[in-house]
A and B are shown apart, each in its own frame.
Chain A
């Protein structure tokens, strides 16, 4: 069977993989997300072991990191997850205009999340909180010297913080680029219909997973 014939035979309606009742895009995304669980587990697991095996207490929550800004960012990501699921529901109900609107809202929400994260990193680095710990001569170094912050664990704190939030930010950036791509090349051109919205469903799963991971990271990195 040629590619064109296969494509036309797949839509509409597109077939489900036997056993799982899911089309290829969705099944592939779920398998990918399974591997992503292991990826983030490696990071979070390493963090837990380093933190609880560290030679002393870590800085208390909110002392180094800007929790209010990040709490707002968490809320923003949750809102973008809602707009993503509204985009999915819109096209599932056969409303491409609403799909365009909600997808655009999701892209804006995701881009704002990344922007705020960049702002957060800029301020942290300016204050002296760097991936290797504390920059010499900085405001944070003075607080370490005064005994307000634990010197022994700042290096571990810095490296785990930037690795975990950095990889998550990278995932969000990839998600925004992918959504922008399908928005411009497919959604705006009316290529998604009530019979075929596989791309929206697949990117939606990815986006919700990124939100889910952030929910866990926000708690263990910023609040504990």
Chain B
């Protein structure tokens, strides 16, 4: 482990997360837009927040690709799992 590693600005990430959470609440309950658009925007904000946590708090941004792959591999598998069940229902 590199002890000389400079830490990211964690407080700034915390501020981003707090602001994005407030934006989610405003979007969900205050903004008069269509339900589908609201759904897409809320999911984008949630994924954005999740990426901030994964990249900076879990330090994925600073890890080697060999380790990042451990986290990335299950993601397409997760999508396949959901699509498979959806297709079962459609079929």
Binding site for B on A (CB under 8 A): 13, 19-23, 27, 30-31, 33-35, 37-38, 41-42, 44-46, 48-49, 53, 61-62, 67, 71, 74-75, 78-79, 81-82, 84-86, 89, 92-94, 194-195, 204-205, 208-209, 211-212, 215-216, 218-220, 223-224
Which residue of A has the minimal Cβ distance to B10?
A: A85
Given A208-B58, A219-B42, CB of A37 within 8 Å of CB of B28? no
Which residue of B has the minimal Cβ distance to A49?
A: B85
Q: Are A92 and B5 in contact (CB under 8 A)?
A: yes
Q: Are A38 and B78 in contact (CB under 8 A)?
A: yes
Q: Are A212 and B75 in contact (CB under 8 A)?
A: no
* Chain B hits for A62, CB < 8 A: 28-29
Given A49-B89, A81-B57, CB of A223 within 8 Å of CB of B24? yes
* Chain A hits for B1, CB < 8 A: 13, 23, 92
Q: Are A212 and B50 in contact (CB under 8 A)?
A: yes
Given A21-B64, A37-B78, A41-B82, CB of A215 within 8 Å of CB of B50? yes
5 A-B pairs with the lowest CB-CB distances in the bound complex, closest first = A41-B78, A219-B46, A45-B82, A223-B28, A37-B74
Bound together, the chains give a CA A48 to CA B79 distance in angstroms of 12
Which residue of A has the minimal Cβ distance to B73?
A: A34
- A sample of 10 more A-B contacts (CB under 8 A), given A20-B67, A38-B77, A223-B24, is A21-B64, A21-B67, A27-B67, A45-B78, A61-B29, A62-B28, A75-B18, A92-B7, A220-B46, A223-B27
Contact residues, B40-81 vs A (CB, 8 A): 42-43, 45-47, 49-50, 53-54, 56-58, 63-64, 66-67, 70-71, 73-75, 77-78, 81
Q: Are B78 and A74 in contact (CB under 8 A)?
A: no
Q: Considering only CB atoms and an 8 Å cut-off, how many residues of chain B contact the other chain?
A: 45
Query: A38 is contacted by which of B63, B67, B71, B81 (Cβ under 8 Å)?
Result: B81
Q: Are B25 and A33 in contact (CB under 8 A)?
A: no
Query: B39 is contacted by which of A31, A209, A224 (Cβ under 8 Å)?
Result: A224
Q: Are B17 and A78 in contact (CB under 8 A)?
A: yes
Q: Are A86 and B10 in contact (CB under 8 A)?
A: yes
Which residue of A has the minimal Cβ distance to B43?
A: A219
Query: A34 is contacted by which of B14, B27, B42, B71 (Cβ under 8 Å)?
Result: B71
* Chain B hits for A81, CB < 8 A: 53, 57
In the assembled complex, the CB of B61 is this many whole angstroms from the nearest CB of chain A, namely 13
Q: Are A71 and B85 in contact (CB under 8 A)?
A: no
Q: Are A37 and B75 in contact (CB under 8 A)?
A: yes
Q: Are B58 and A209 in contact (CB under 8 A)?
A: yes
Which residue of B has the minimal Cβ distance to A222?
A: B28
Q: Are A78 and B82 in contact (CB under 8 A)?
A: no
* Chain B hits for A48, CB < 8 A: 82
Answer yes or no: B37 CB below 8 A from chain A CBs: no
Query: B21 is contacted by which of A75, A86, A224 (Cβ under 8 Å)?
Result: A75
